[in-house]
Amino acid sequence: MDTTSAQNKVFLIKKIYFYLVSFVALMMVVFSLGDLINTTLRIYVFTHADNFSYYPTMVCEAPAPSTIKDPNVKPLSQADCEKQNTDNQKRADEERRSQRERDLVRDISMIVVGLPLFTLHWLGAKKKDQE
């Protein structure tokens, strides 16, 4: 194998590497921006988009006497049931807020890492094309 052929293979591998890393970094930025827009729209425009129907709520009906196995277990009073419903709703709202913040942190981090990574590798790929 002559040196020109070996140099061409090395050049091709480097070129593929630069374009591949550029593509992956660009996809990181694109998907993160999309998710960032999605989260922003859910917070400020479509405010009910995060309301899920499967958050726990208490059923305030007294169980049928045949289903009570422990005689010490008493059904919740209406006030206790409403308090638990309120507490469950507060926990659900806090969890939703926490999840939004986690999403925003992840998206911003991916953009902060992806943009320089893309820029450096894209410029490197273009430099390799000019050689």
Model pLDDT for residues 32-64, shown as the tens digit of each residue = 999 999 999 988 898 887 776 555 555 666 555
66 found inside a domain:
no
**What does the pLDDT average to over 63-73?**
60
Tell me, yes or no, whether 11 lies in a domain.
yes
Category of 26 on φ-ψ map: left (φ > 0), alpha (ψ -120 to 50) or beta: alpha
First to last CA, the chain: 22
pLDDT at position 82 over 60? yes
Q: Has residue 124 got a pLDDT over 70?
A: yes
Residue 6's pLDDT is: 85
Q: What pLDDT is recorded for position 107?
A: 95
* Domain span including residue 22: 3-58+75-130
Q: Is residue 124 part of a domain?
A: yes
Flag whether 68 is in a domain. Answer: no
The stretches of 45-131 forming alpha helices (DSSP H) are 78-130
Count how many domains the chain has.
Answer: 1
In a domain, 103, yes or no: yes
The per-residue pLDDT for 67 is 58
Give the Cα separation of 39 and 99 in Å (integer): 10
Question: Is the pTM of the predicted complex or chain greater than 0.85?
Answer: no
Q: Assess if residue 69 is contained within a domain.
A: no
